[in-house]
Amino acid sequence: MVIMKINNMKSIKWLLIGSIIFMSSCKGDDIVINELDENDMRAISIAGPAMNANLVIGDFIDDLAKEDVYIDPEGLLYYLVRQSVDINWDELVRLNDVLRYWVYDLPSAVAPLKTAGSPDFSSQVVLSHRDDVRYDQVSLSGGELQLSLTPPAGAAGSIRVEIPGASKDGVPLSVDFTVYSWGVVSPAEIVVPLAGYDITLDSNNEAPYDSHFDVNTYLDLDGVTGGNQIAMNFELRGLQRESAYGYFGEQEAKHLDAEMKFSLFDEIDDLRDNVYVDYFELSVEVNNAIGVPFYVEAKNIRFFQKDEETPDMVLEVDDSGTIVVDYIPAATDGDPLTPGFAEEIIGSSSNSNITAIGNSFPVSMMVDLYSWSNPQVTSGPASDLINFMKDANMLVADMVVKIPFSLSINNYTRKDTIDFDFNDIIDGSEDEVDHLDNANIYFDFVNGIPLDIVATAWVIDRNGNKIEDLLVDDTRFIEAGSSAAPKESSFKVGLSAAQIKNFKEREAFKIVLQYKLSSAAGGQTVKIKDSDMLKTKISFDAKGTIPN
């Protein structure tokens, strides 16, 4: 399906009120003067340049500037605004720093300590940060291990520390210290960069899972005095996750006061009392690039007429103010990864006040978004789920407002102007114009837009001052039509010699058209499509006589 976009706010306003008339004009090089000899008088006629405009809504698509108006496959125009809200789930997998200081008691017997396969000492390091979180495997993109030892007095030899669950390129992590009898250990401290290491962890069968790995110590020492001790300082700092697999529990994250602006409604503020849109749609679309299912609630959805703290209206849905997306599936692991997706739509047909909110034309909306990981499932224990997390740490919720241009309009009033620089038109023929007896201005319309238009027209000078009325108030001159069955409407305005002279002396410059637009057939809902067209032609002629 191909969706086309329309992007200019002034044009959006024009389209939303039913593709209100826009006309541009062009002037010929000169007026045409025909001279005929008849008795002792010379008849003259002047044909003014025609001003034409063919407006097809679809023609504006490529010239518009903001991504707000679209065309559906059937040609219906609709306004759509989307605001992405990130819910930060970086804490879903949290790898805290680990600081441990272990003291091991040595055997009381005075004898060499030689490793024979099994470690002399072993300790566990727990990485899971919550009782309901289980880590099976974690791959690291950063962090470091810091190790230092305090050996027993008088001992000499070596000490090896291994972490069999941590490996890089298949090789387990292992470090060696040399111990000298005068109490020196070399190196004094070992620092191991952990980028590229994979850590495999063991866990309890049920919560608390206490996901952990072993740190094993092997001794090869001589000269040990009975009753002595060996101490180890163990530190993991700045661990950064590349990926993690396991079960990440039922955790919560939120994003409060997320804001969406409706710039369209700023543009059409003057339509509030005259335009009614019969369908609005508010939806929450959630894209999930994390390998964990989620549950999302949009709460406290409030709408503002102005940028103020107090909302004018609050969304009500089924006697509550919450939109629930009850299950967003986990992303599917692979290359490339396949995100999970779910949405919930609240439209005018739902049990809500969304239509009343939409027709109040709010300028902004605020919402509080809450999300929970691993919502209750209908079968199988939750801990059987295999969660994963890679680069993505954001759950992306799109707040989407869609308004099809299906609307009714009642006496919406606006003004447009048409260039009518009279002195420029008659340039070089001023003497003949002084002898004109009458003139006519012709308005011809072919209306393929489903709106009736009632108009008043007058002429103004360069300073905007009215010179003459052309149409009496509220003269119907354009009948509603459609792109499939356009309606033709025409009218003629006659001008006297005195009016023509007045145009010349006061330098008539523009024609002002004031429209009152209404839905046809008593205000019923109409649909505005990109193929709707208005053709306009304005021309004039004049006649008179001058002596031979």
Instruction: Express each pLDDT in 90-127 by its tens digit.
Output: 999 999 999 999 999 887 654 455 655 788 899 999 99
Is the pLDDT confidence value at 45 over 90? no
Task: Name the nearest CA neighbour of 153 among 220, 230, 253.
Answer: 230
Rounded CA separation 189/102 (Å)? 15
Q: In the numeric block, which tokens belong to residue 28?
A: 């010929």
Side chain identity at residue 325, one-letter code: V
Rounded CA separation 193/172 (Å)? 14
Rounded CA separation 504/427 (Å)? 10
| pLDDT, average across residues 529-544 | 78
Overall size of the chain counted in residues: 548
- Long-range CB contacts (within 8 A, 24+) of 182-189: 183/151, 183/153, 185/148, 185/149, 185/150, 185/151, 188/148, 189/146, 189/147, 189/148
Instruction: Express each pLDDT in 128-179 by its tens digit.
Output: 999 999 999 999 999 999 999 998 888 899 999 999 999 999 999 999 999 9
Is the pLDDT confidence value at 77 over 70? yes
Instruction: Express each pLDDT in 257-304 by its tens digit.
Output: 999 988 776 656 566 677 788 888 999 999 999 999 999 999 999 999
- The reported pTM is 0.76
Question: Confidence class of residue 360 from pLDDT cuts 50, 70 and 90?
Answer: confident
3-state SS, residue 72: coil
State how far the alpha carbon of 89 is from the alpha carbons of 93, 103, 152, 254, 489, in Å: 8, 37, 46, 9, 62
Rounded CA separation 516/469 (Å)? 17
Q: Which residue in this structure is represented by tokens 């007026």?
A: 31
3-state SS, residue 183: coil
3-state SS, residue 502: helix
Q: In the numeric block, which tokens belong to residue 158?
A: 């070596």
**Per-residue pLDDT at 407:** 76
504 alpha-carbon distance from chain centroid: 54
Give the dihedral sign, CA 263/268/269/274.
Answer: negative
Helix (H) or strand (E) holding 519: strand 510-519
State how far the alpha carbon of 345 is from the alpha carbons of 289, 349, 364, 543, in Å: 21, 10, 19, 65
Would you list the DSSP string of 282-318? EEEEEEE-SBS-EEEEEEEEEEESSS-SS-SEE--BT
Is the pLDDT confidence value at 3 over 50? no
Rounded CA separation 228/108 (Å)? 8
State how far the alpha carbon of 230 is from the alpha carbons of 103, 113, 145, 147, 192, in Å: 6, 12, 19, 13, 21
3-state SS, residue 523: helix
Phi and psi based region of residue 265 (left: phi greater than 0; alpha: psi -120 to 50; beta: remaining): alpha
Is the pLDDT confidence value at 63 over 70? no
Q: Are strands 406-409 and 510-519 parallel, antiparallel or unpaired?
A: unpaired
For the chain, give the mean pLDDT: 81
